[in-house]
Amino acid sequence: MGKEQKEFLRRFKAIELYQQGLKPIQIYKKLRRSKKWFFKYLKVYHLYGIAGLKDKSRRPKKLNIKYAPEAIRDLVETRKDLSTAVTEETKYKFFGAEAVRQELIKKGYSDDQIPKERWINHIIRREGLIIKPDKRRRRKSNKFYPLLKPTKINEVHQIDIVGPRYIKGKGAFFSYHLKDIVSRCVFLEQYSEQLAVYIVDFLVKVWQNLKIPVYLQMDNHCTASGSITHKRSIGKVVRLCLFLGVEPVFIDDKKPWMNGSIESFNSLFDKKLWQKYEFESHASEYREAKLLVQRHNEYQSYSNEKREIEEINSQVLPFEYNKHLKELPLTEGKIHFIRQVNENGEVSILNESFFIDKSLFTDYIWVTVDTGKQTCNIYYQESEDSPKILIKTFPYRLREEVVAFDSKNRLV
């Protein structure tokens, strides 16, 4: 017997006991209900009889009649077209309720002529157009780890490199991806190798189009962090960041979920482009990759129009910018690392191990190297609701002279 049926029988029993002459207080105490509950259904019974004691369905009886049948037909066809993506116009596009609505508006429908997103989802289910996502087991740490939580556009950018990818007879290439966490817009370029000089070139191109962020988050590949062997070696990528006033953030080793936003685009790149099509040349693949990015960003821009989000007060690099073509000095600023404490109570930072605390084994800490003050600060946060606590500070002498940050000349 279902919950609703049990409740109906309880209400019916209350009316039956009342008709037998029991007092209200005896009835609702016997049925373990309130005085308000008893008199509510007594009134309902007097108005509607036994049928009134049953719960009414909360499901809407029909779709709002203001939507024209042709709008609903177009909605269904649009969903089918977007989900199959067999035409040039629909290739790489999203196909959820928000994307369907966006396409209908492009076709000339006004906002009030088409259903809202919850109704579109209802129609998709009704028409049997649900597409089940791939069920992949995602690896994720059970431990709390400190991450940036941006609220403004261009506050945090995440970067990652996909590759090598091989085109038969044409050799390998690497796809460089960057994503703004809040706006969810992406930028893509491709290079023949994974080199620090190419990452620098890529970042300059990005920041000539997107505003220079507060933070750049990335993994620990030596092309970004510096030397693979020398201690406290600051590479080209970090030098560019510090020179422009950006704070690099390195996630922990082999923890890609910490860069989840850009990893989701990497999956999209593989699923919608690389695994789906065969390419005869790098040029044809690059052209399609740029189309994927264009349609991804168009969708995100439409989605962002409905969100009240701010943008940081920053600048873009001029298109004639060329300071990165020379060796940049080591500039004062902050470099951050997310690290998991090993069984010896240590963490590794720029090819050097530091003792923290054995009691923090498997816990994550936040490490900040201040190149100006030449100090290293260790922060620990037990949970999301706990404060970030400074647990250790020690000197961090660098191997070269550090210059002051020049906010005026960095962009010239």
Question: Which H/E stretch holds residue 302?
Answer: helix 282-304
Q: Is 40:65 a contact under the CB 8 Å cutoff?
A: no
Measured on CA atoms in the order 191, 194, 200, 202, is the torsion positive or negative?
Answer: positive
Alpha carbons 17 and 21: distance in angstroms, whole number: 7
| pLDDT mean over 386-409 | 86
* Residue percentage of the chain with pLDDT more than 90: 21
242 vs 386, residue with greater confidence: 242
- Cα(340)–Cα(380) distance, rounded to whole angstroms? 11
pLDDT for the residue 240: 92
Residue pLDDT, tens place only, 256-311: 888 888 988 898 888 888 888 888 888 888 888 898 888 889 888 877 877 788 88
- Asked whether 242 and 336 are in contact (CB, 8 A), the reply is no
pLDDT digits (tens, 9 = 90+) for 70-85: 777 777 878 887 777 7
Per-residue pLDDT, 66:
63
Q: Is residue 200 scored above 60 in pLDDT? A: yes
What's the distance, CA 246 to chain centroid? 21
Check: CB of residue 154 under 8 Å from CB of residue 246. no
pLDDT in tens, 341-369: 899 998 888 888 889 888 888 889 999 99
Q: In this structure, what DSSP letter does residue 404 have?
A: P
Q: What pTM does this model have?
A: 0.71
Mean pLDDT of 181-185: 91
Residues 6+ apart with CB under 8 A from 169: none
Q: Tokens 């961090």: give the residue.
A: 396
What does pLDDT average to over the chain?
84
> Hunting for tokens 């951050």 — which residue is that?
336
Instruction: Pick from 244-258, 296-310, 366-380 the range whose average pLDDT is largest.
Output: 366-380
**Could you give the residue ranges of the DSSP H alpha helices within 148-257?**
196-207, 222-225, 236-244
What confidence category does residue 68 fall into, taking pLDDT thresholds of 50, 70 and 90? low
For residue range 27-50, what is the model confidence (pLDDT) as tens digits?
888 888 888 888 988 888 888 888
Q: Which long-range contacts (CB under 8 A, 24 or more apart) does 89-92 make?
A: 91/291, 91/295, 92/272, 92/273, 92/288, 92/291, 92/292, 92/295, 92/296
Distance CA 410, CA 404 (A): 11
Phi, psi at 98, each rounded to 5°: -65, -40
Q: What is the pLDDT of residue 142?
A: 62
Q: How confident is the model at residue 201 (pLDDT cuts 50, 70, 90)?
A: very high
Size of the chain, expressed as the number of residues it contains: 412
Quick one: average pLDDT of 161-178? 88
pLDDT of residue 374: 93
Q: Can you tell me which residue has the tokens 């750049």?
A: 216
Dump pLDDT digits (tens) for 100-134.
777 877 777 777 777 777 777 877 777 777 776 66
